[in-house]
Amino acid sequence: MDAARDDAAVRAVVLRGEGSFFSAGLDLRGGVDFQAVSSTGTPTDPFLPLRNCLLNFLAFPKPTVAMLGGHAIAGGLILVLACDYRLGVDGDYRVGLNEVAIGASLPKAAFEIVRLRLTHQQASELLLGAALYSAAQAARLGVVDQLLPADSFEETVLRRAARLGSFPRDAYAHTKAALVAESIARIESEKPEEAQRTAAVWLSAESVAARAAQARKLST
The pLDDT of residue 74 is 92
The pLDDT of residue 185 is 97
Residue 18 DSSP SS3: strand
The pLDDT of residue 44 is 58
Series of mean pLDDT values for 10-residue runs along the chain (220 residues): 90 91 72 50 68 93 96 94 96 94 92 96 95 94 95 96 97 98 96 89 90 77
Tell which phi-psi region holds residue 183, choosing left (phi > 0), alpha (psi between -120 and 50) or beta: alpha
The pLDDT of residue 211 is 84
Determine how β-strand 146-148 pairs with β-strand 13-16: unpaired
Contact assessment for residue 171 and residue 147, using Cβ atoms and an 8 Å cutoff: no
The pLDDT of residue 40 is 42
Q: Where are the beta strands (DSSP E) in the chain?
A: 13-16, 21-23, 64-68, 71-73, 85-89, 95-96, 146-148
The pLDDT of residue 220 is 66
Q: What single string gives the DSSP state of each residue in 126-148?
A: HHHH---B-HHHHHHTTSSSEEE
Q: What is the CA radius of gyration of the chain?
A: 18
The pLDDT of residue 31 is 54
Domains and CATH numbers, the chain: 2-26+33-219 (3.90.226.10)
